[in-house]
Structure 1
């Protein structure tokens, strides 16, 4: 999309969002995944090595007062913008936050719950001990469902879950930590990851989930943390190939799984395709910089690790794709969510868009 067509599309999306904000198109949203979706779970995990976004400058642009909310972003993350497209104000609150406030079930019945955890992987061994892995997030959902049924009855909960939107985004950390080097090793890794991933999906389906919006892994070789390892600052093509291969394998696995699970509907958003276009022509998407962290230090803003109160900030946060050495800015997350809901020629989802998925049934 270019020029007037792109601007018109953004306006239309905005108008649709404004309408749905008054009436959500699904009764609740349940979120499982990693730091791209985490809205504060890790703030409540013990351990000095747990990745947390609980200090400035995280949240510097968050509505209502520039506070660090546990999101690895300068403001909202993509879970928030998916939620807004569905008609909610923002992502449902984090599971551990809701438990601490004794508000888990009221939220689960009216808005949803986020189980996403920074550092989480499909495998329990990924960053073990410093996050809530996917398998445990599924177990937390199972516990939530049992309590929902106690409060509201099995039939009501069954109907609610069948119409709710399950947003899932995980896999990047598993690939980051992989030591696979040969083609055989990579294929074996894919096999293990997909086996665990589809098992989690099947478990959620068995508990009543029917609508799944999946976000694939992005071009991992292009994040500032990886680029900085290259003397030229170029993307790591080998890592990108692994990411692309995993997405292709997941796409095939979902196509094979869906017919076996009656009533399951899904949309797979290809983050790689969406961002690849951005990297090829950042200015067309409104960016000034697509390779450097807005908040960081050293070369590419990636030599100091996470964004901290002592980091150097870029002048225009919306002009950067990346907020810190790995995670996107609020603006990039917003455009990413819009792409997931786009039904037009620039569609990056398969077999349907997130918007079509939300309206199913």
Structure 2
């Protein structure tokens, strides 16, 4: 799997000096570069290693789609953490000893804490990785990969 737009996680948004509601572009640029490099590496390896099959999930694009149209996925909050403290609930981690704020419905949030997706968001990603089309999982989805390796 590639790296999602890490510049859009709540903690990165706090680091953005332009506006708290915006993503940190530099981190997202690194994530995009990683996807390009890992894709090229896997293509090269598969041409050199006879019989090698693989699948690369583009979590950057998957997450970007959710960020652009969150309501289409039932997500209402793409900026704040569901569990944490401070601005965007992203200034302090979700430690029970710190008495963090907890959102009323975690399935309506993209992020559980400063960095990680909620269980609901991870579920959406898993379904996409297993059944998605080549624009999101290439050269085949995980279901096809399992069948090809059997």
Q: What SS does the corresponding residue of 2:15 show, helix, strand or coil?
A: coil
Query: Which runs of 5 or more residues in structure 2 are unaligned?
Result: none
Deviation beyond 3 Å, 4+ runs, structure 1: none
Q: Which residue of 1 aligns with 2:94?
A: 307
CA contact 2:94–2:113 (8 Å) conserved in 1: yes
CA distance in 1 between counterparts of 2:79 and 2:55 reads 28
Residue 341 and residue 325 in structure 1: after superposition, are their counterparts in 2 closer, same or farther (change >3 A)? Answer: same
Alignment of 1:335 onto 2:121: no
Alignment of 1:237 onto 2:25: yes
Query: Which runs of 5 or more residues in structure 1 are unaligned?
Result: 1-214
Please report how far the alpha carbon of residue 244 of structure 1 lies from its aligned counterpart in structure 2 after TM superposition: 0.2
CA distance in 2 between counterparts of 1:278 and 1:351 reads 22
Q: Which has the larger radius of gyration?
A: 1
RMSD: 1.3
Q: Which residue of 2 aligns with 1:286?
A: 74
- In the TM superposition, 1:36-51 aligns within 5 A as none
Q: Which residue of 1 aligns with 2:38?
A: 250
Alignment of 1:355 onto 2:150: no
CA distance in 2 between counterparts of 1:252 and 1:241 reads 17
TM-score, normalisation: structure 1: 0.39
Q: What SS does the corresponding residue of 2:140 show, helix, strand or coil?
A: coil
Alignment of 1:317 onto 2:106: yes
Q: Which one has more relative contact order, counting CA pairs under 8 Å at least 6 apart? A: 2
Q: Which residue of 1 aligns with 2:14?
A: 228
CA distance in 1 between counterparts of 2:124 and 2:12 reads 23
CA distance in 1 between counterparts of 2:15 and 2:61 reads 23
Please report how far the alpha carbon of residue 344 of structure 1 lies from its aligned counterpart in structure 2 after TM superposition: 4.2
CA distance in 2 between counterparts of 1:236 and 1:337 reads 25
